Each structure stands twice: as structure tokens, then as C-alpha cells.
Structure 1
Amino acid sequence: MLGDAWLWMAVVWSPPAYMGFSAPDGFDTLTVTVLLVAALVKAALLWLILRAPMPGPLDRRARALRLLLYLAVAYSLVLWLPMALLPDEVDAAFQFALSAAIDVLYLLVIRWRSWMLRTAAGAAFAVELAGAADQLLDELDLLELRSGGIVALGLMLGGAASVVLTVVGQWRDGRWSRGTLIAGWSSLGVYALVIPLNLLFEEIAGGSPAMSVVVDTAGLVGAVWMAATARELPTGDRLADLPPARRRAVRVAVAAVVVLPIIAMISPEQSAHLTYSDRLAGCYHRPSFGDLRPAERDAAFLCRARSRDGGVPPMFPDDLSDQAVLAYGRALCRAKDRDEQEAILRRAGSARPTWGADPWDLVYVCPETVGATRPELLRSTAETKAANDAHLAEENARCRDPWPRTKGVVQATATYFLFADGDHGYLVHDPEDAAAEEAAEQAVDKLYDDSAGIGVSGSAALVGHVEDVADLCLTVKALRTAPPRRTAGWDQVTEVPIVSRTGRLTVPEMGEGEVGAGAPMPNLAIAGKGRYRLRVHVRVGEAGEEHLVVVYPGASRKRLKLKP
């Protein structure tokens, strides 16, 4: 009736500023419902906290423990707010000192009835205090204790163990009632549920402050336990157990407090369930289909379907659920043509329906369909590499040395692969020359000014191809002296000057791309830095286009057409 801000203050007991931070646009229906339920639960828990202490004598230690427990309860209820106005290191120091004092008094006041149990409790308390000390050191910008996830997990488990051992000690002591022990075990359950509830909040609630209200309400269970522990300190014997009917009512109430908030947070099935995004670290790696287990393939498709690589819009809108994206993906697999794919993408609300879907993306959701026409997409990385290596070996094997009787100091024969949609030719160049890129560009410009199809600029010579963009057989040889002018059997033979400024001359090899020599190419500058002559033999026959490149030291700058 009074508005969201007053509802927030009444239930969470914090200023409206916190509500504005958590929900600047106001509360949705789910959050209002959770707040109203939390109000009733917190009222019941607060009534348990504020019950008057049991009468009876207390020694000095028990009196100090009661005072500190009530101080801890007051801190969890209201004192946290003024403490938040102080520097963080003051708050951390206060919590460390309070926890240490309570743990020491627990060891002295509780009648453990077993030195082993008391020792175990002391060890658990020490681990719990180590976590508090780590927080204090962090606030003071000093050396932290935590050195990794394993240590952090150990500190967390130590805190849980301290609760377990304290409740066991209270049970063996006999002073505390069944209700107090139930509160202790319940606080452990809340402690264990904080992490999964927060994960549930991130994935299901989508930013709603409802989960913070649930966690805040559940946190009062620990205050109930501390208040009950302080209240029942004077009694010498175990209190009478509750009647069976009341015990059943308490169990039902505890189960409702734990289970109902979780059920309330579950979204309906038709709502979007978003798990994978192109912004996740795992989506930057694009694994091959054969490298993935069946359970990982849907995730790979979701990463690709939501990808924005290159600034292009994703295949599906961001608000479409993972389940819907997978369903549309399988529908795309069943499409008969590109037009049907476009219609499916339009129904899905895609920002780029005319692009359709590529088989290398769809293979993750329908491998049986894609694999029937594109079996290579089913390979693993190792299988793809083996297939590529076999293809290179087969292509290189069809090329033969056209001048076998003349052995070079270094030489190699391989297939040179060109772009399928057009390529100028191949370079013989000094790749380490500072001006290598500029020299290559100038060689391209000069290529078409020469009838022999060879453009030369400094340390780069671009040799063009005769046939219309076909892979060619290339043999390179480096000789110490000029070879004889052997032109028989060749369509054209041309000799040009070239320079090596760093002592290297070679032909580019094919790396991860599609262009380059299919085998390692040697360094043809066998005399180191200096001037060389480059003789290129070209012919086209039944075996396709063949090139023989011979390099030898020579200072001449003449350009010779030896044939035709």
C-alpha cells in the first residue's frame, strides 16, 4: 500500500537506497510475492530471537558468552548498517575479534565430554578464524592467506565443520533443547545452500532481487541458533522435548522455508533459458566436431549460433532460449533448400535470414544429415591434419624434378597451390628484408608490364602463371655458377636480377591458408647477402603447368629472354 521502498524496508530492514540499487525500476510480481512471504517468515524467526533468556545462575565465562552471542545477533539484525558506514577494515576487524572470542568461549563453556571432540572443535574453529583473518588481511591490503581454489574450499569446509562440531557438542552437553539443535543444523543447511541458490539466481531469476531476499531471510536461522544458545545457557539439564505434533509442525515449517523459495524461483518452461553466449571464454575456441563428446555438441552449436564475430549479427536473437535455438537448428538441418532455411530463420526472428545456415555450423546438431554430404566435417583435428597431410603428399608426389641430372646445392620440388578464385602467381623473395612488403607490391605492378609474366622489384620477383588459376608443379634449385642455357622442352625461359639484403631468398610455403608451396622450401641465397640471377623455365603439358626456378650468384642487372 505504501510502495516498494516501504515494503523493502519492512522486510529487509535496510534503507531504500539499497532497494534502489537492487531494483531501480521497482519490483516485479515475483519479488513482491517473495517479500510478503519473507515478512511472515522473518516475523516468526524474530519472535524466536527476542524470547527472554532462561533464568538461572551463570558463571563468568557463560555470562561473557551470552553477552557476545547477543552482540553477534544484534550485529546480524541491525548493527551491520552503522558498521557499513565505517571503513571496511574496521568491520572486518570487529567480526574477526567477535568470532575469535565466541569460539574460545565455546571451547570453555560447552561440556564436550570428550577431549577428542574438543580438540576437533578447536581445529575447526582455527580454520574458521583463518578465513576471517584472510578477509581482514585483504581489507588491510596485506598478504592474504588464500593461494587458490583448494585453500578457499578448505576454509569454507572448515566453517561448516565448526558448526557441525558445535551442535554435536551442545547435544552432548545436555543443556540445549531439541529446538536449539534443530536451529543449529538448519543454519548449516542454509550455509550449504548459499552457493547453489546464488547460481540458481544467476541462471533463472535473471537479475531479480528476490533471491537476495531469500538469502537474507534464511540467514536469520543462524541468528535464531545463536540467540537460543544464549537463552538456554543457565539450564543444568536438557529441556523437555516438544510434543510430537509440534515437532512435526516445526519440520514442515523448516522444509517450507527451504523448499518453497526455490520452487518460486523456477521459471516456466516457455521462458528463455540462456546458458551459452559468444562472450563466454569457452566460445572463443572453435573445436572440430570429432573432438567433442556428444554432450558437448549442443553447446558448440549454441556458441556459433550466438556468435558476433566480425561485427555481424548473430544467427538467432539474444532473447531466444537455448532450447528454441537448438530446435530451430535441427529444423534448418531438415530444410530442403536455402529458401526454406530463410523461412525458418525469419520465423525465429533472425537479423540475417537471407544468409541461411552453413553445414559447418549445423553439423553439431545433425551430424547424420550433414555427414552424408560433407563427411570431412565429422573429422577430429587429428583426422583433419592427417587428411590434409595425405592430400599434400599425393599432390607433391605427382610433381617430378624436370632437370634431374643437374643437382643444386639446395633444391626442392612440390606443388604450389594458388587461390581458386584468382592469384597473381608466386614470389621468390627475401622475407626478412625490411622493405619486403613494399617490394612485393611493386613486383605485382610490374608483372603485367612484362610479356614473360615476371615482375621484379629489388628483393622480390613475382612469377605469374600461364594457365587460368591452376595449381602448378614447382622445382627450385640453387647453383654456385650459371648453368647452361637449356631451353629445349620449355615454352619460355626468362632470366632476371634479384637482390638478397639479409642472406635469404625463398618461396612462400603453405601454412594454415590455401596458398603456398606444399613442402618446405630451401634458402636459395647460398652465397649470403648480395646480387643473384633468377632463371625461370615455364611450360604447359599433359602434367599441367610446370615451373623450374634456378638461382645463382651474379652481379648482372640485365633482363634476358632466353626463349622465345
Structure 2
Amino acid sequence: MVLGDAWLWAAVEWSPPPFEEFYGRDGFDTRTTAALLVAALMKATFLWLILRTPIRGPLDRRTKALRLLLYVAVVYSLVPWYLIGLLPDAVGAALPLVLWTSIDVLYLLIIRWRSRVLRAAAGAMFAVELVSMANYLLAVLDLPAFQAGRIVGLGFTLSAVVATVLTVVGQRRDGRWSRGTQVAGWSSAGVIVVMIPVDGIYSSGNMVMPVIMDMMAFVGTVWIAATARELAEGDRPAGLPPARQRVIRLAVAAVVVLPVMTMIHPEQTPHFTYTGRSLGCYHRPNYGDLKPEERDAAFLCRARSTEGGRSPLFPDSLPDQTILAHGRALCRAKDPGEQAAILKRAGSERPDGGMDPWDLVYVCPEIIGLSQPELLLSTAEEAAASAAYIAEENAKCRDPWPRTKGVVQATAKYFLFADGDHGYLVHDPGDKASEKAVERAMDRVFDDSAQIGVSGSAVLVGHIEDVIDLCLTVKAFRSAPPLRMAGWQQVTEVPVVSPTGRLAVPEMDGGDVGAGAPMPNLAIAGKGRYRVRVYVRLGDEGEEHLVVVFPGTSKKRLKLKQ
């Protein structure tokens, strides 16, 4: 304390103070200093218990090996984390697996369980623990590993609790271990249970919780050391005097209760679910896919997102409750100017950008849903609505040559970019030079009044009106069909070549642009040269196109009607 807060932290935690949490502030607050002093006293007591000399007595080879391995585990747990971090990741993951595999096997052989069922249950829990360690090692080695989600991870943690409890029960049945060792074992199981909700809840500004968690981790090390100490068959240690037993009970109660008390905050205490540096805030889930309790978190994620390298809409200094209140105020804003005023009061670095309805819907669905009900849909509902819309639009298009059947044909609505598009392609997608051919066809589409660009294996057909979709019918014939130009505004015939035996029109295939129904391969004669005849007119359903493809060697461009 005399030398400064950094030295106090290093003396108690055996590591340098965290850079971001400590040096970003003017020293520790009173709570953190008090927590460090309490942790120093408790860790000194735990170290005294860990460093007590082993009980003398006869040991066979297996028991000697178990005692040695348990003390290795004690040393491993006491080594500062930053020293272990110097090891290669694979070594750091393999050492605990090898160590605890040996310890668990010797536990099953040496402890007098006095029950086959108890031994089998302990073996099963040990196996689950080792599977978790092995899975982590596989992930570190970039080998196929089981992707453990939150539920599976919780299952692995609970299996460690059950394994500890069964081992303590086995120690009690064996008779070699004292009541103090058994209390340490029960406390170790309790610490794991307490850490489940505690782990990861503290924010970058709370230094008390990591100090307490580090102190609690020593309880398990005390139990391992006590287990190794009392492995011999010698005389049992005398029972502790009542006064010392009361002190130990008080210490154990403090270790268990203090973290729980720290977790309970008054309602007005600021919460910080995300910051601008948080990962995983680039995904925008559908409102309908989220549970009610998840929607506020989704909004906070978007409000603090730095997607695209931009500053977050709200500063990280604002707690969750304040940002949620500002979000609901943005929902009620009447115009962009009022939104900008709200964001300026909130301290936003980019108040003029406002906030999109698909972000605000998480906090005020009753307002956003009135004008944009599609934002309330789940992914499945959205897909079903899109499929229904496309089917409805396809049904509006009719085959303009119903009596002239092609070898293959299709009729569908072709959807273009909403902000303008050159048109649609009839091309060979397997052509190695397809990309360049499409670029050249796109450059040539405006060279002619028919707005049809041709280059090698690509024909780009433009639209004559400013539309976002059009009705398209494609037909392939083995020879040139009759012209039948009556009723059409323009008819143009151009050459195309298919190097791979495919000529196709792009489909939507889950996107926003393309044909709304499957399109056939129009190169029915295989590789070679073809003629593409394009009919265009404006009808009741907007712009309508008929594309006729048939084999032909001519390279001429014909304007049959214009």
C-alpha cells in the first residue's frame, strides 16, 4: 500500500494489474482496496493450509504416485497465469488433461469407495471432465472439436461439481481424510456453483469481483493439498478445538456469501451489457426470433456497435438503462430533427445519422410495427412471406406464346435492383471468360436503341422503362420459330456462343435479384453457336419480355422491329 496501488495488486494477485481497468483510472477505489486486503488475509490463511507437511505413514507405489501428482496439481494452480501463458497453447491445454487423467484413474483405484455404484458414478463424472479438457485441446490444435454451446458448457461445469461431491463422499467412506479436508472439498464444490453466475458478469470498471473470484479459486487448491497430505495410513490428526472450528466455518461462510452479496446491486446501479469493443454485435437477428428478455440486449448491441469502423451511436459511458430510455424516445420522435436533438443530449458522436427502424423495433415494436409490420416477423415467417410474394408475382406473368411450345421453357417475374439495373443476362455461366464477356456486354448495352449488349457468351438485355421487375418468358427451339411480331414494340435478334453447352438466365436463389422461378438450360443442342431473339412490349402487367433461343451460326445483329 505504501508503494502504490499497482504494488498492492501485484502482491495480492501475483500478477501485474490489468492495464485497461487500472491505468484508465486514478488508482483503486475504497471497495477494491478493501477487497485486496481481505483477499490477502484469506490467501495467506489458505497458503498456510496448503504448505502444511504431509502426514507420515506407509504408502504403496500407487499412493506415492497419487500424492506426487496431487502436489504437482497444487503447484500448477499456484503458478501465476502469465507464466503459464508463456507456454505454447497446445502444451498449456495438454498438461491439465494428462495430469488429471492420471489423478482420476488413481482416485478410482486408491480411494476405498465401499460401493460399486459410487465408484462407477465417480468414474462417469471423471470421464465427462476429461472429455471437456480433451475437446478444448482439439480446438487449440485446430482439429475437429465439439462445438459446446452455453447449455453444454454448463453441463461440463456441473459435472465438475458432481465429481467433487462424489470424491468427498468417497473420502468420508474411506476414513483416511479428516473432517477439515472434507469441509474443504464441500467448499470447493460450492465455490464452483457460485462461480457459474458470477463468471463474466463484471464490467471493466468493477475490480472487486475478479479479486474475489481469484481468492475463491484457492479453496479447491486447499482441498487438493489436504487430500495429498492425508493419504498415508498413519494416525488421524486430532480434531480442531471448538474455537478454531468456528473460525473456519466463519471463513467458509464468508467465501460463499461475499460474492453473492457483491452480485446484488440496487436497481439504479448502471449496467453495461456491451461496449463499443464487444464482439458479436455485427449480427442483426430478426425481432420475431428473439425471446422478450433478449430484445433489449439486441438493441444495446446495435446501439453500441462499431460496424463499418464508425463510432458507436451512444458513448460507452452511458449505462444500459439510459440507452434504452433514449431508444424509446427515438421511437416517439416525429422527424429526423427531433431524433438528432435526442442523440445530441445523449452525447452521441454522430447525432445526424439517427437510428434505423429495424434497430428501434427491438425496444418499441408497438410503434415501429404499425408502419412496418414486416419488421416483427421471424426468419421463418419472413421466408414464408417472401416465398408467397414471389409466387404471387410469378402468377401475374403469362406465356405470350401459349400455343408455341419450346423444347424447354419457363415464365416468371424477373426482379431487378430497386435503385436501377442494366437488365438481365442470357449467358453461359460455365465459360471461363464469362466475367469479361459480361463486362463487355454491359458496356455495349447502351450503344444501340434496343438496349441489348452482346459479347461472346453473354447477352445483356436492358429494359425500356424504369422498372424494378418485368415478366420474362424463355423458350428454346431446335430451329428458328416464326417471327410473329404483331403486338410487340421491338424485336431484336443477336448471336451468342456457348462454350460449355449451357445458356441460362440468373435466378434469385435466395437473393433479391433474378428470376423468381427455376430457369431451364436454353442451349438444347449442346456446345456451339445460337441465336437469341428478344421480344419486348409494355402490357397490363408492366414490361414484358419473350426470349427465344435456337441454334444458328449467323453472327449478324438484326433489328426485326423497332
Please classify the TM superposition score into its range, dividing by the shorter chain length: 0.7 to 0.9
Q: Determine whether 1:242 maps to 2:245.
A: no
Q: Determine whether 1:452 maps to 2:450.
A: yes
The answer to which of 357-366 and 96-105 deviates more is 96-105
In the alignment, the residues of structure 2 paired with residue 98 and residue 385 of structure 1 have an alpha-carbon distance, to the nearest angstrom, of 53
Deviation readout 1:46-78 (Å, 9 max, x if unpaired): 777899999xxx86469x999x98997899599
Q: TM-score, normalised by structure 1?
A: 0.76
Cα deviation, residue 289, structure 1 = 2.1
The answer on whether the counterparts of 1:538 and 1:548 sit within 8 Å (CA) in structure 2 is yes
Deviation readout 1:289-311 (Å, 9 max, x if unpaired): 22232233223323333333333
In the alignment, the residues of structure 2 paired with residue 467 and residue 96 of structure 1 have an alpha-carbon distance, to the nearest angstrom, of 74
Distance 1:279 1:522, change over 3 A: farther
2:362 alignment counterpart: 364
Alignment of 1:149-298 (within 5 A): 154=159, 157-167=162-172, 169-170=174-175, 181=179, 184-194=182-192, 196-197=194-195, 200=198, 202-204=200-202, 206=204, 208=207, 210-211=211-212, 213-215=214-216, 218=219, 222=223, 234=235, 242=242, 251-264=249-262, 269-274=268-273, 280=279, 283=281, 285-298=283-296
Letter in 1 for 2:508: M
Distance 1:469 1:104, change over 3 A: closer
Distance 1:98 1:457, change over 3 A: closer
Distance 1:249 1:232, change over 3 A: farther
Gaps of 5+ in 2: none
The answer to which of 268-277 and 286-295 deviates more is 268-277
In the alignment, the residues of structure 1 paired with residue 127 and residue 444 of structure 2 have an alpha-carbon distance, to the nearest angstrom, of 78
Distance 1:554 1:164, change over 3 A: same
Aligned residue among 291, 297, 300 for 1:299: 297
- Matched residue SS, 1:204: coil
2:38 alignment counterpart: 37
Aligned residue among 496, 521, 524 for 2:522: 524
Distance 1:199 1:450, change over 3 A: same
The answer on whether the counterparts of 1:278 and 1:303 sit within 8 Å (CA) in structure 2 is no
The answer on whether the counterparts of 1:506 and 1:523 sit within 8 Å (CA) in structure 2 is yes
In the alignment, the residues of structure 1 paired with residue 127 and residue 536 of structure 2 have an alpha-carbon distance, to the nearest angstrom, of 82
In the alignment, the residues of structure 2 paired with residue 158 and residue 547 of structure 1 have an alpha-carbon distance, to the nearest angstrom, of 72
2:384 alignment counterpart: 386
Deviation readout 1:20-43 (Å, 9 max, x if unpaired): 678985962333212222344456
In the alignment, the residues of structure 2 paired with residue 71 and residue 455 of structure 1 have an alpha-carbon distance, to the nearest angstrom, of 78
- Matched residue SS, 1:538: strand
The answer on whether the counterparts of 1:330 and 1:366 sit within 8 Å (CA) in structure 2 is yes
Distance 1:6 1:444, change over 3 A: closer
Letter in 2 for 1:2: V
Cα deviation, residue 374, structure 1 = 0.9
Distance 1:45 1:463, change over 3 A: closer
- Matched residue SS, 1:202: coil
- Matched residue SS, 2:200: helix
Cα deviation, residue 364, structure 1 = 1.9
In the alignment, the residues of structure 1 paired with residue 77 and residue 421 of structure 2 have an alpha-carbon distance, to the nearest angstrom, of 76
- Matched residue SS, 1:345: helix
In the alignment, the residues of structure 1 paired with residue 403 and residue 358 of structure 2 have an alpha-carbon distance, to the nearest angstrom, of 48
- Matched residue SS, 2:242: coil
1:111 alignment counterpart: none
The answer on whether the counterparts of 1:160 and 1:188 sit within 8 Å (CA) in structure 2 is yes
In the alignment, the residues of structure 1 paired with residue 458 and residue 446 of structure 2 have an alpha-carbon distance, to the nearest angstrom, of 15
In the alignment, the residues of structure 2 paired with residue 374 and residue 198 of structure 1 have an alpha-carbon distance, to the nearest angstrom, of 41
- Matched residue SS, 1:462: strand
Distance 1:46 1:484, change over 3 A: closer
The answer to which of 270-279 and 363-372 deviates more is 270-279
Alignment of 1:74-85 (within 5 A): none
Letter in 2 for 1:28: F
- Matched residue SS, 1:326: helix
Q: Determine whether 1:504 maps to 2:505.
A: no
Deviation readout 1:147-194 (Å, 9 max, x if unpaired): 986778656633332123324555xx8xx9xxx625632442234314
In the alignment, the residues of structure 1 paired with residue 499 and residue 72 of structure 2 have an alpha-carbon distance, to the nearest angstrom, of 81
The answer on whether the counterparts of 1:69 and 1:102 sit within 8 Å (CA) in structure 2 is no
Letter in 2 for 1:270: T
The answer on whether the counterparts of 2:39 and 2:212 sit within 8 Å (CA) in structure 1 is no
In the alignment, the residues of structure 1 paired with residue 304 and residue 257 of structure 2 have an alpha-carbon distance, to the nearest angstrom, of 34
Q: Determine whether 1:339 maps to 2:337.
A: yes
In the alignment, the residues of structure 1 paired with residue 524 and residue 72 of structure 2 have an alpha-carbon distance, to the nearest angstrom, of 86
Q: Determine whether 1:409 maps to 2:444.
A: no
In the alignment, the residues of structure 2 paired with residue 73 and residue 508 of structure 1 have an alpha-carbon distance, to the nearest angstrom, of 68
Q: Which of the pair has more CA radius of gyration?
A: 1
Q: TM-score, normalised by structure 2?
A: 0.76
1:375 alignment counterpart: 373
- Matched residue SS, 2:327: helix
Deviation readout 1:506-547 (Å, 9 max, x if unpaired): 222223333222222222211111111222222224442222
In the alignment, the residues of structure 2 paired with residue 479 and residue 298 of structure 1 have an alpha-carbon distance, to the nearest angstrom, of 58
Deviation readout 1:187-246 (Å, 9 max, x if unpaired): 42234314643762532153845235523664575389669969996469x859738xx8
In the alignment, the residues of structure 2 paired with residue 470 and residue 329 of structure 1 have an alpha-carbon distance, to the nearest angstrom, of 34
- Matched residue SS, 1:416: strand
Gaps of 5+ in 1: 108-114
2:472 alignment counterpart: 474
Distance 1:168 1:321, change over 3 A: farther
2:552 alignment counterpart: 554
In the alignment, the residues of structure 1 paired with residue 399 and residue 40 of structure 2 have an alpha-carbon distance, to the nearest angstrom, of 89
The answer on whether the counterparts of 2:326 and 2:346 sit within 8 Å (CA) in structure 1 is yes
How many residues align? The count is 532
The answer on whether the counterparts of 1:411 and 1:477 sit within 8 Å (CA) in structure 2 is yes
In the alignment, the residues of structure 1 paired with residue 441 and residue 102 of structure 2 have an alpha-carbon distance, to the nearest angstrom, of 78
The answer to which of 204-213 and 96-105 deviates more is 96-105
